[in-house]
Chain A
Amino acid sequence: MAEASRAIRASAVRLVLNRVAYGAVTLLLVSAVIFLITSWLPGDAAQELLGQSATPEAVAALREKLGLDRSPLARYGAWLRGLATGDLGVSLAANTPVADLVATRLPKSLLLAAVTAVVSVPIALTIGIVSAMWRGRRLDRSLNVATLSMVAVPEFLIATIAVLVFAVKLRWLPALSNAVDIGSASQFFRTYAMPVLTLCFVIVAQMARMTRAAVIDQLNASYVEMAVLKGARPAHVALRHALPNAIGPIANAVALSLSYLLGGVVIVESIFNYPGIASLMVDAVTNRDIPVVQACAMIFCFAYLLLVLVADLVAILSNPRLRHR
């Protein structure tokens, strides 16, 4: 017995390490793709930066400063080393270290994401579990149509309607969320209410749909049929029998849905002028400030891979059968 459980634990550890290694390899591939795209410039970056009137000496000097005189592989290697050590290069537009820009912006985005997660997860789980319990009935069908429509609505429609209602018509909230000091709770609410509302709209729908699927998967299992046959009430069956077994798949759904935040946050930070990492990236793309674009893209891809990895690991660790695969 002890032998068998030790063997199971060993294989689980091996599987987890496998997934982490696989995630690391994927991150390396992603970094190669991003570097390839961003350094594959049409023409000469130094020439473009200085304009047509620049002297050849000035162009050559800038080429050397940007490292354009080295081979692409050497530049990629140097860039990777920089990423690993936190040296992200110098912003071409602001002429300050990219790491400093990121350090002031990243915590703001993480805070926005955290508040959104705290608000959206309970709502989404409630919707998902309720519609799974009443699946096929009128309530479930209406919720299905509602969430199906919500996932297809662009974030900027929600944001503009929110501004129109709460800032223009009702005058409850400011239209922009760029307040510097958020000392009091009411100030915090006024800054975060609309960005979080907008982000939640799409995330909640996504998460509720995946939660519903995860719970229904459990409700179809034979032990649930057994519980029904022995006469347990439907709510009891769903909450006491199915839900504990669905926690793994639900956590998986939550982590995967949160990865959709990464796309939404780009639009939301720009609309509300929120000083996070996504609006930094949009500005950098507009100015073609490549070092900042590279750093921000890697941060976003890293966050995405991390969420997918967490989703995978939760699925493995919560399902004994998966450990043997």
Chain B
Amino acid sequence: MIAERRHWATRAWALMKGLPLAGRIGFALVLFWALAALLGPSLAPHPVGAVVAMDVYGTFTAAHPLGTDYLGRDMLSRILHGARLTIGLALAAAVAASVTGTTIAILSATIGGWIDEGVGRLMDALISIPSKMLALVMVASFGASPTLLILTAAFSYTPGAFRIARSLAINVRTLDYVQAARARGEGTGYIAWVEIFPNMVNPMLADFGLRFVFVVLLLSGMSFLGLGVQPPDADLGSLVRENISGLFEGAPAVVMPALAIASLTVGVNLLIDALSGRSSQVEQ
């Protein structure tokens, strides 16, 4: 109990020290991007749209550590702003997908019967549409707006979250204390929320991290194709797209935003892998 009361920073530090090297790298990358999303835009040396340099596609200099883009804007500032947009959109979509998927799964598993069966079949059909196809079809029909992108990504990854959550809920459902609660005459909502949900939080958090990675890759891919975030707004994927002609000059403006995305997604993946590996060791 005393351990539980320690300051969250101390606990985070203790957690990190228990991780293998790859996990620590992942932890550092995730922490870095969390801070960048929160504070980045206020730390950015230049306004996001300001043309500040004479040379376009400039290389690494002291004034512009990540070079300049196709108009002579500061890439560091553009990336700090773009990272907030990428992370914000992806978090919104991943939270929506995980919460919706988990809620439907727990209710469906608790109710059981033909409702459970029907919901399962419907989710199986929805999971058969590759997320990029769904996103392309949605954008073709409704155009690309931030709300639509979040909805599309959330809709696309809900069935996956549902599948994981349902298999967890089914396992928990058969345990003695749930049977005891049923015998006491507790209602469906009570059993779902108080008995089943708390016992699947940890694996669902790991799954949430994976969904976040999928959504970041999906939305950056769409922006890269010019079918995601529209100018003048720019997420990390749009930054790669708008500077693509600088590739032939070897400009950092193309590779840096792409590297930023990769370091974010790889970081989350490494952290989750280390954390779930650790918890499974504890279980053994």
Residues of chain A touching chain B, judged by Cβ–Cβ distance below 8 Å, are 26-27, 29-30, 33-34, 37-38, 40-42, 141, 144-145, 148-149, 151-157, 160-161, 163-164, 167-169, 175, 259, 262-263, 266-267, 270, 281-282, 284-286, 288-290, 293-294, 297, 300-301, 304-305, 308
Contact = CB atoms under 8 A, between A and B. Distances in A.
B236 to A, nearest CB: 9
B140 interface: yes
Contacts of B237: 154, 156
Interface string B125-158: 1101111110011111110000000000000000
A27 B124 CA distance: 11
B129 A152 contact: no
Contact of B136 (A141, A154, A281): A281
Contacts, number: 139
A151 B129 CA distance: 20
Most buried by B among A27, A34, A266: A266
B111 interface: no
Given A154-B265, A157-B262, A169-B250, A263 B140 contact: no
A151 B214 CA distance: 10
Contacts of B13: none
A157 B133 contact: no
Nearest to A293: B140
Interface string B247-284: 11110001100110110011011100100000000000
Nearest to B221: A267
A164 B262 contact: no
B224 interface: yes
Contacts of A154: 217, 220-221, 224, 237, 258, 261-262, 265
25 contacts: A26-B128, A29-B128, A33-B129, A144-B273, A148-B266, A148-B269, A148-B270, A149-B269, A152-B266, A152-B269, A153-B266, A154-B261, A154-B262, A154-B265, A163-B247, A263-B131, A266-B132, A266-B225, A267-B224, A267-B225, A284-B140, A285-B137, A293-B137, A300-B130, A305-B128
B270 A149 contact: yes
A290 B142 CA distance: 11
A168 B248 contact: yes
A262 B130 contact: yes
Contacts of B20: 141
Nearest to B259: A157
A269 to B, nearest CB: 10
A41 B138 CA distance: 11
Contact of A33 (B126, B258, B259): B126
A294 B137 CA distance: 8
B22 interface: yes
A153 B270 CA distance: 12
A153 B138 contact: no
Nearest to A284: B140
B250 A152 contact: no
A175 B244 CA distance: 12
Contacts of A284: 140
Contacts of B225: 266-267, 270, 282
Contacts of A144: 273
Contacts of A156: 220-221, 224, 237, 240, 258
Contacts of B247: 160, 163-164, 168, 175
Given A168-B248, A169-B250, A30 B221 contact: no
A304 B128 contact: yes
Contacts of A164: 247, 250, 254-255
Contacts of B250: 164, 168-169
B141 A40 contact: yes
A308 to B, nearest CB: 7
